[in-house]
Amino acid sequence: MTTQILSTDEALPFQTAVSEAVRLLNAGQVVALPTETVYGLAADALNPEAVARIFEAKERPSFDPLIVHLPHRKDLETVAEVPEDIEPVLKKIAEAFWPGPLTIVLPKKACVPDIVTAGLPTVAVRVSKDPVFTRVVRTFNKPLAAPSANRFGSLSPTSASAVKAELDGRIPLILDGGASNHGLESTIIKIEPNSPKPLITILRPGPITQDDLKPFGIIKLGYKPDKKIRHGAAAPEPAIEAPGMLASHYAPRTPLRLMENPEDFIPEPGKKYALLSYRGEADDGYTELTEWVGMHILSPGKGKLIEAGVRLFYALRELDKLGVDEIIAEPVAEHGLGAAIMDRLRRASVKRQ
């Protein structure tokens, strides 16, 4: 199979690209599309054979569910049941964050194939803000299942070229919408009735933060990465409630170690190392630890978490090309968006089973 990349830079190429994507989707094929988070690999969410092609292209295990992207916010009840006891808060949250990088887990309707939800009674749904994805899904006029457009477990792609590096020859089409705006996958939540406020459980941290969600209810963390896990050890897998919850995930091919204390780093003779630095400042204690083969800085000088999130997967992908024995990653400030960045780094550092 030849993988074609179509530009969406100008009006005519944009419409041509959208038309070709919709043609392939209607034929039950898969198409890589930009979203505001990372690039997704899309197929007709209501066609189990089309969805199966996503799993085949990604080599994704069948127990890991997919996110369903809706054409419009009003289409929610075509794929999900909205329990009466959470309907008021769900409406407020959807009005505040859709379209945008927030995924909500709800009871599924029978029309959603089990392959999409990994047999779970729930479906994860969101409405993308990206103009290319939006035009495609609204022209297609049906929900799209769209996990990240990469091989399972590896780094999520934030550009069309990164998708091609992962899936060249496995999919027919990539629409190039430029670099992703956020660079981190969507926040995933579930909502439960509670008194005096609804309970909002964050299953996967992302661009919509705890602080963003606090006005709508009581926040609970449903992900529990072990901060004390020994480097190189395998972590137990959590119960899967939503996409992106596996302990080992978002990982480069090169082993990665999250070094939360620079004094713990003792280079081994003969080994080559690269550094993923937060600010690139010597005062942080990392840049002078050894003679790094390469270094990528997420947010030079000021340490802005938004910039760090946008650059995370790109920087890891570039470091992965250096052929070193190990990537050492600095921590970032673990508040706001930093919680999502640290979640991805911890999962990347876990040994794959």
Q: Exposed/middle/buried for 111, CB within 10 Å: 0-12, 13-18, 19+?
A: exposed
Q: Which of 176, 191, 207 is the last residue of a domain?
A: 176
Claim to verify: residue 269 and residue 162 sit in the same structural domain: no
By 3-state DSSP, what share of the chain in percent is helix, strand and coil, each rounded to 5?
Answer: 30, 20, 50
- Dump pLDDT digits (tens) for 77-127: 999 999 999 999 999 999 999 999 999 999 999 999 999 999 999 999 999
Torsions phi, psi of 74, nearest 5? -65, -10
**Band of residue 302 on the pLDDT scale cut at 50, 70, 90:** confident
With a cut of 60, say whether residue 129 has pLDDT above it.
Answer: yes
Claim to verify: residue 158 and residue 38 sit in the same structural domain: yes
Confirm whether 336 is domain-assigned.
Answer: yes
Confirm whether 44 is domain-assigned.
Answer: yes
Q: Which of 123, 151, 176 is the last residue of a domain?
A: 176
CA 318 to chain centre: 18
Rounded distance, CA 43 to CA 348, Å? 27
Q: Exposed/middle/buried for 12, CB within 10 Å: 0-12, 13-18, 19+?
A: exposed
Task: With CA atoms as reference, report the closest residue to 58 among 166, 185, 155, 145.
Answer: 166
Claim to verify: residue 260 and residue 172 sit in the same structural domain: no
Claim to verify: residue 152 and residue 301 sit in the same structural domain: no
What value does the mean pLDDT take over residues 131-144? 98
Confirm whether 145 is domain-assigned.
Answer: yes
Claim to verify: residue 164 and residue 274 sit in the same structural domain: no
pLDDT score recorded for residue 230: 46
With a cut of 80, say whether residue 294 has pLDDT above it.
Answer: yes
Claim to verify: residue 172 and residue 268 sit in the same structural domain: no
Confirm whether 189 is domain-assigned.
Answer: no
- Dump pLDDT digits (tens) for 24-69: 999 999 999 999 999 999 999 999 999 999 999 999 998 999 999 9
Claim to verify: residue 135 and residue 23 sit in the same structural domain: yes
pLDDT score recorded for residue 264: 95
Amino acid at 185: E
Residue range of the domain that includes 155: 4-72+109-176
**Band of residue 242 on the pLDDT scale cut at 50, 70, 90:** confident
Q: What is the largest CA-CA distance in the chain?
A: 62
Task: With CA atoms as reference, report the closest residue to 102 among 141, 67, 136, 148.
Answer: 67
What value does the mean pLDDT take over residues 301-326? 95
Q: Exposed/middle/buried for 218, CB within 10 Å: 0-12, 13-18, 19+?
A: middle
Percent of the chain with pLDDT over 90: 87
Claim to verify: residue 30 and residue 141 sit in the same structural domain: yes
Percent of the chain with pLDDT over 70: 95
Contact assessment for residue 246 and residue 348, using Cβ atoms and an 8 Å cutoff: no
The verdict on pTM exceeding 0.75 is yes
Claim to verify: residue 157 and residue 270 sit in the same structural domain: no
Torsions phi, psi of 254, nearest 5? -75, 135
pLDDT score recorded for residue 238: 58
How many distinct structural domains can be found in the chain?
Answer: 2
Count of other CB atoms within 10 angstroms of residue 255: 16
Confirm whether 251 is domain-assigned.
Answer: no
pLDDT score recorded for residue 353: 44
Confirm whether 156 is domain-assigned.
Answer: yes
pLDDT score recorded for residue 146: 97
CATH (domain of 320): 3.40.50.11030
pLDDT score recorded for residue 245: 77
Q: Average per-residue pLDDT in the chain?
A: 93
Q: How would you list the strands of the sheet with 40-44, edge to edge?
A: 4-7, 173-176, 31-33, 40-44, 144-145, 67-69, 122-126, 102-107, 187-192, 199-204, 218-221
Confirm whether 224 is domain-assigned.
Answer: no
With a cut of 60, say whether residue 244 has pLDDT above it.
Answer: yes
Confirm whether 194 is domain-assigned.
Answer: no
The more confident residue out of 351 and 167 is 167
CATH (domain of 170): 3.90.870.10
Q: Which of 176, 201, 229 is the last residue of a domain?
A: 176
